Amino acid sequence: MPWCPKCKAEYREGFTECSSCHVPLVDELPAEKDVPEQEQYVLPDGMEKPIAVYTAKNRLEAETVCDLLRDHDIVTIDRPAAFRQIQAYSGADARFGVEILVDASQTAQARALIDEMNHDLAEQPVDEDELARLAEEQAMETPEQPMEDNVSFKLLPVVIGVIVVALVLLYFVAN
């Protein structure tokens, strides 16, 4: 199974890049050694000293903020704000948040962009019609995927048949 060398997330076969860290996956994780936490992370090009500039409530908000910053040529990475073990077992992004990190030289610009985005969102609440229109546009852009056969539904008649036969046998044995 492929692994992300940065966040240590496990992926299914066929994936080549971590969806969170945007780094290539490896077949095996290197052995853990006593390395300071800051050195355990593989920093992207252009980032020397990562500083947390924002804690998003969930992964979707984090991706939105990261996209905004990347559109303004600011290199970003994100990580769970909680301990990785807690996040792995509980899916705790929504509970603890996701930290957005940028290089120390770009913190002021990143915070200004995030504050402007939050200010714009607070000023203009999105109405229901606009949300419906955006959802419809997104649905039209998403390629249609074929339905997958679910093996458990194919086995359902067999399971029901076995149960019926067992009940009939119990009936005859009891009488």
Per-residue DSSP letters for 20-69? TT--B-BSSPPPP-S--HHHHS-PPTT-SSEEEEEEESSHHHHHHHHHHH
pLDDT the model gives residue 38: 47
- pLDDT per residue, tens digit, the chain (175 aa), is 788 888 778 888 888 888 888 888 888 877 765 445 544 567 787 788 888 899 888 888 888 899 999 999 999 988 776 645 454 555 544 456 788 889 989 999 999 999 999 888 877 776 788 878 888 887 777 676 676 766 777 788 889 999 999 999 999 998 8
Burial of 68 (0-12, 13-18, 19+ CB in 10 A): middle
Is residue 106 within 8 A of residue 48, CB to CB? The reply is no
| DSSP H helical ranges for the chain | 37-40, 59-71, 84-90, 93-96, 107-123, 128-141, 151-174
pLDDT the model gives residue 147: 67
Side chain identity at residue 74, one-letter code: I
pLDDT the model gives residue 92: 47
Structure tokens at 89: 């077992």
